[in-house]
Structure 1
Amino acid sequence: MTDTSATAPAFQGYGTKAYRAYVLFVLVIIYTFNFIDRLLISIVQEPIKAEFGVSNFELGLLGGPVFAILYTLLGIPIARYAERANRVTIVSIGAAIWSVMTAACGVAGNFVQLALCRLGVGIGEAACVPPSQSAIADYFPADRRASALAIFSLGIPIGSALAYVGGGWLVANFDWRTAFLLLGAPGVAAALLLKLTVKEPPRATAQTKPPSFGETVKALSKKASFWHIAVGGALISFVGYGSSQFLVSHLVRNYDLGATIQQEYAHAAYAMGLVAGVSTALGTFLGGYLADRLAPKHTHVHSWLPALGVAVAIPFYIFSFFQTEFIWAFAFLMIAPIFHYMYLGPMYAVTMGVSTPLQRATAIAILVLIVNLIGYGLGPPTVGALNDIFAANILNDASAGALTLADCNPLTMDAANAATCATAQGLGLKYALGCAIFVLAWAAIHFLLSARTLVKDRVS
């Protein structure tokens, strides 16, 4: 007897191609403001350091744990709510909150107030990635998800570039407070655009009740490829967030970029804007594009492509950090991120692929929790602490123990020690960045290990 039962057609996506493109465009705008607001602190941290007299480690806390703790911990309950609620509304409310809190950073009177505002930014941004990516998965068919998620991830380099260029110009022509006020407020308009013009897509599943959090964790616990991808992504983020927090500072401290300190801030930020807007964007897009194109013939491409990318990035970063001339440092820094950020699309695509439709937001939230607790939570303060340690050792050697790091506090420093302190801070940061970059090799190992179970673990 011939089996005449019909095979269910593959999911072709929700809405027209043009509307899906528009939805993705709006979500990229939202994610762009997400990264403008989280990254701005790293562009303006040198004038903040001078005004509040904080250490490199404290700067790392502002860019890392102060933002990341609530950002990551709230991601889980928000994602659970997003499995059954309107994801567009959740993202819109979150965008409004983080935009207002970014603007509030501009009126902070001291380090503690600035830290509290950064906590608020983290609370709002916790509502962005898991609901957004869950909605994208219900808009796009499986064979276009890696590309769609990679395009969504372009919000990272676009937002970074706008933060660098806009923040650098505002600091040079006004001050760091104005940068927070003017770059934070427009996110409220983007939140309204999302809520008023984007529809909540239906879930691409016949199941109506989402699995419990415990059931989702239990399902993921059996997916070895997910855990290797998550740890690998966390280690890459450790390097990415840790280095990006201090790259403007690195350029200002180690190269002659202008006649005034304001010009140096601006030129360093513009340089990093090019790196983020061109190199990081290209790498992010290529990772998703190549993964989708190569997947039919190379089933493990989501594992080996990110591993290859970060392995190639390591020497270019090292060459960049230890150049004595800015033009060569900048040239190598333009190349490294192209390979570094090829992991984003494949990382998210693997997470979507090993999760059922009603588990995706929670799975992404778990991924974000792991990636950001290690990446954001540890990256910036580790690089900042290494900077302080190396700088203290350099000061000790240069002055035969007469100078300590405390003597280099901008609020109390003797003018006679300014040159010695500046040299120690600059060299210390070079060594800190150089040490951090080798964590990428560890990340590459985890991506390669994920290949062992990648095909078996896929469910959607």
Structure 2
Amino acid sequence: MAIAYQSHPEIADTLAMKRRGLTLALLTFTYFFSYMDRQILAILLERIKADLVLTDTQLGLLSGLVFAIFYATLGIPVARLADRTNRRNIIAASLTVWSAMTALCGLAQNFTQLMLFRIGVGIGEAGSSPPSHSIIADLYPPEKRASAMAVYSLGVVLGAGFGTLIGGVVAHSYGWRIAMMTVGLPGIVLAILVRLFMVEPRRGLSDAARAAEATPMPSVGQGFASMWASAPARHLVVGVTLTSMIGYALTGWGPSYMQRSLGVSMLDISRYIALPGALFGAVSALAGGKIADMLAKRHGLHVQAWVVLAMKGLSLPFALAFYLIDAPAIAIGSYFVSLIFANSYLGPSFALIQHLAPLQIRAMWAAITLLVINLIGLGLGPTMVGWLSDLLKPGFGEDSLRYALVIIALMTPWALFHYWRAGVLLKRAEDAVR
């Protein structure tokens, strides 16, 4: 492909645009496997806890901080590489690594071994999202980017849902170890398909008006500085980080909460809750992207931040009802309603950040965003819930997990303030150039 760009750039650009639907599909499936391999742990926590004799704090570390430290920090050097070299090849290699490590989790005999394999999953997954964000931004123009990012974000909700579905059903019949291997090994096949059929687009392909921005590659420090200098980007990163922390707390501990406090079995969660939850989440992600793009055409890109503000605000009371209502049917019904709005933030948030990013360091900006999201959101979210659950257990018993999750959910208004502020700043910038 690199030779084609040098000798026949028009042909290469035409091929990249012709195959952009296929490329987006492959990126979405890769993201799907990423979240399936990452979140399968949630439905297996109670089995792993009993088998390896672990505390909630240890389970929280496995779900959050242990994974997130390596996943987030390695994203920066990977993004640096992705801004210089072939992004498709990085994604294919990364997918191979984390899929193999997920399968190896099934061989762990103690906390230390499982921790090391989870670190391996984090190392592999570090090479997926930054180059994926960069490729999508190159293939889709600003007016279609939120929708494209929303399609890509289906990997989050569907991957988490199918990880719960497959993990619970397989673990019920064959044990948690076989469940890990079942979701891990197929990713290696997908990595081959990515390497063979995904297109590596020219950087800035869908941003012809910004082609003049192309400059020598900035350093990592300059990448951080450029993002910090953008006030809208700062607020977007804080907003999406807090929102992700709340979401990771739910996805990491939701199945355990349903088993402990609502009395729903692992198999019933897998059969009757995981797939509908994934579908509701998928509708939310797609609708959020479509609504954001539609309103942005009429009123400007700043409205996309306020779409997230409105959707997440609508989701909060239903999320709290899920945690606080004892009747399983009503609680789970509230959970489904909350999901209709909950995942709407994914497409608009990442699309706005990529819109603000300089062309030459889009992968770097994506990696910086994911560094903060994953160190704080993924790293602290599930870990804090496990710690709070152990802390509250003397007073609340098995319901300690319930109130730990409520505490995290009540941080939502903080996140909403930052989305509101990002929208204000983006609108000011738009008004200034009119």
Partner of 1:24: 24
One-letter identity of the residue aligned with 2:247? G
Shift in Å, 1:210? 2.3
CA–CA distance in 1 between the matches of 2:325 and 2:17?
47
> Alpha-carbon deviations, 1:83-134, whole Å to 9, x = none?
0100000000000000000000000010110000000000000000000110
Find the aligned partners of 2:57 and 2:14 in 1 and give their Cα distance.
47
Counterpart Cα distance in 2 of 1:159 and 1:209: 37
Note if contact 2:59-2:386 (Cα within 8 Å) is conserved in structure 1.
yes
Give, in whole Å, the separation in 2 of the partners of 1:386 and 1:363: 32
**Residue 360 in structure 1 maps to residue 332 in structure 2:** no
Q: Greater CA radius of gyration, 1 or 2? A: 1
- Pick closer, same or farther for the CA change 1:194–1:208 going to 2, 3 Å: farther
Q: What is the rounded CA distance, in whole Å, between the counterparts of 1:95 and 1:122 in structure 2?
A: 11
* Residues 193-342 of structure 1 aligned to structure 2 (within 5 Å): 193-204=193-204, 205=211, 207=214, 209-257=216-264, 264-299=265-300, 300-342=302-344
* SS at structure 1 position matched to 2:424: coil
Contact 1:284-1:341 within 8 A present in 2 as well: yes
SS of 1:287 mapped into structure 2: helix
Distance in 2 (CA, whole Å) between partners of 1:158 and 1:451 is 29
Residue pair 2:280, 2:339 contacting (<8 A) in 1 also: yes
Structure 1 residue 174 displacement after superposition? 0.8
Cα displacement string for residues 321-374 of structure 1 (whole angstroms, at most 9, x for unaligned residues): 122221111110001122121111111011111112211000000000111111
- Residues of 2 paired with 1:268 and 1:178: CA distance? 18
Q: Is the 8 A contact 1:275 1:333 kept in 2?
A: no
How many residue pairs get aligned? The number is 411
- For residue 244 of structure 1, report the CA deviation from its aligned partner: 1.2
In structure 1, the residue matched to 2:33 is 33
Alignment correspondent of 1:178:
178
Going from structure 1 to structure 2, the CA distance change for 1:70 and 1:193 (only over 3 Å counts) comes to same
Deviates more, 1:166-175 or 1:200-209: 200-209
Distance in 2 (CA, whole Å) between partners of 1:80 and 1:45 is: 35
> In 2 relative to 1, CA 352–14 (structure 1 residues): closer, same or farther, beyond 3 Å?
farther
Give the distance between the partners of 1:164 and 1:231, measured in 2 at CA.
Answer: 28
* Residue in 2 that maps onto 1:413: none
Q: In the aligned structure 1, how far is the partner of 2:260 from the partner of 2:331?
A: 13
Determine helix, strand or coil for the equivalent of 1:200.
coil
Q: Which amino acid aligns with 1:388?
A: D
Structure 1 length-normalised TM = 0.86
Q: Does the Cα contact within 8 Å between 1:171 and 1:265 map onto a contact in 2?
A: no
Aligned to 2:154: 154
Contact 1:223 1:453 in 2 (8 A): no
TM-score (norm 2): 0.91
AA at the equivalent of 2:423 = A
CA distance in 2, matches of 1:295, 1:14: 27
Kindly provide the CA deviation profile for residues 37-90 of structure 1, in whole angstroms up to 9, marking residues without a partner as x.
Answer: 110111101000001111111111000011000100000110011001000000
Mean CA deviation greater in 17-26 or 190-199: 17-26
Partner-residue secondary structure (3-state), 1:199: coil
Q: 1:178-214 deviations in whole A, cap 9, x for unaligned?
A: 0001110000011110001112111124636322222
Matched, 1:438 2:410: yes
1:401 corresponds to which residue? none
* Cα deviation digits, residues 275-310 of structure 1 (max 9, x gap): 542121111111111111110222221221111111
Q: If each structure's helix is expressed as a fraction of its own residues, which one has the higher value?
A: 2
Secondary structure of 2:298's partner? coil
Please state whether the residue corresponding to 1:211 is helix, strand or coil: coil
Contact 2:19 2:199 in 1 (8 A): no
Note the residue ranges of structure 1 that are not aligned, 5 or more in a row.
Answer: 1-12, 258-263, 395-423
Q: For residue 452 of structure 1, give the secondary structure of its aligned residue in structure 2.
A: helix
Q: Structure 1 vs Structure 2: percent identity of aligned residues?
A: 36
Moved over 4 A (4+): 455-459
Structure 2's unaligned 5+ residue stretches are 1-12, 205-210
Q: C-alpha separation between the residues in 1 aligned to 2:428 and 2:122?
A: 36
TM-fit CA distance, 1:457:
5.8
